[in-house]
Amino acid sequence: MCFSTSYFLTFASGGKDLCRKWSKTQGGDAITSDSERTTGDVVRETIERDGAIRIGLARGLINARALARYIQIETRERYSFEAILSAVRRYPVKGKGVKHRGAEQLVSKLALKNKIAVATIKNSPELPVMLAELSKEVDYGRGETYRVISGPESVFVVIDSKNLARITSAVSKSSLLMTLDNLAEIVATESGDALMTPGVLAGLATELAINGVNLVACAAPPTSAIFIMKEEDAMSAYRAIERLSRR
């Protein structure tokens, strides 16, 4: 599970500006002769689907001309550079970024645990009963891990590596879709304000992606965020979130 992120701190927009014939719509957005999407639509979609771009714009870290050139390249030169640049400068970055600023600082505690495994099991009417019986064998008092995340077609179980055999022996081979071992888990405990603050999980996941951490899975129950990654990435992930929460 990967999260694509890009920061555009510097970019030399050289070369010839290729463009087609443009028509102007109300508000100054340009559209191509073969598309109903305005330049403003393209710019807004590009910014809003990438958390790193939104955060970078809100913090004043991204060069508007560099971002405009990036969008032009991504759209295969279908939109004029000047039209894209104008739309980037009109984007209400302060209004959209202020709610997200500092959201990651709502993390109050971090916990890291290694020797974690996961199992993905095909959902069935009898599976919840079987998983409930297995939970009775888990020693929560000694800090053992047992988390069940249910979906419409499969169930994802997070468990200590030493207890993985309990899962694999209890379900049929045809029902066991996948198992992964040698994983680690980071639990970020959040303050109550996190429930009403947009961008907390996105900010944490973006920071992990920027630091090269590939997430196997993540979950966000109330007042916490759970990230699962390979053990080799665990310390990098922990330090990245710790640095972020101290900013």
Do the Cβ atoms of 108 and 189 come closer than 8 Å?
A: yes
Query: What is the percent of the chain where pLDDT is above 90?
Result: 52
Are 86 and 110 in a shared domain?
Answer: no
Query: Which domain CATH number covers 184?
Result: 3.30.2130.10
Residue 3 belongs to a domain: no
Question: What's the one-letter identity of residue 77?
Answer: E
Distance of CA 36 to the CA centre of its chain: 30
Are 88 and 210 in a shared domain?
Answer: no
Domain end marker among 97, 118, 152? 97
Residue 15 belongs to a domain: no
For 124, the token pair is: 């069935």
pLDDT score of 8? 33
Are 213 and 235 in a shared domain?
Answer: yes
Are 167 and 184 in a shared domain?
Answer: yes
Give the mean pLDDT of 230-246.
90
Residue 84 belongs to a domain: yes
Residue 4 belongs to a domain: no
Residue 10 belongs to a domain: no
Are 117 and 235 in a shared domain?
Answer: yes
pLDDT band for position 2 (cuts 50, 70, 90): very low
Are 142 and 172 in a shared domain?
Answer: yes
Are 151 and 66 in a shared domain?
Answer: no
Domain that holds residue 27: 23-97
Whole-number average pLDDT of the chain: 81
Residue 11 belongs to a domain: no
Do the Cβ atoms of 119 and 178 come closer than 8 Å?
A: yes
Are 57 and 152 in a shared domain?
Answer: no
Q: What is the pLDDT of residues 126-159, one digit of tens each?
A: 999 999 999 999 999 999 999 999 888 999 999 9
- Provide the domain count of the chain: 2
* Bridge partners of residue 148, in order along the sequence: 157
Residues sharing a CB contact under 8 Å with residue 25, sequence separation 6 or more, in sequence order: 31, 38
pLDDT score of 32? 44
Are 172 and 188 in a shared domain?
Answer: yes
pLDDT score of 105? 66
* Bridge partners of residue 217, in order along the sequence: 228
Burial (CB count <10 Å: 0-12, 13-18, 19+), residue 157: buried
pLDDT band for position 55 (cuts 50, 70, 90): confident
Domain end marker among 50, 76, 97? 97
Residue 9 belongs to a domain: no
Are 121 and 238 in a shared domain?
Answer: yes
Are 85 and 116 in a shared domain?
Answer: no
**Res. 101: pLDDT tops 80:** no
Give the mean pLDDT of 178-186.
96
pLDDT score of 183? 97
How many helices and strands in the chain, by DSSP H and E?
9, 8
* Rounded Cα gap, residues 29 and 91, in angstroms: 12
Are 33 and 70 in a shared domain?
Answer: yes
Residue 76 belongs to a domain: yes
Domain end marker among 81, 97, 113? 97
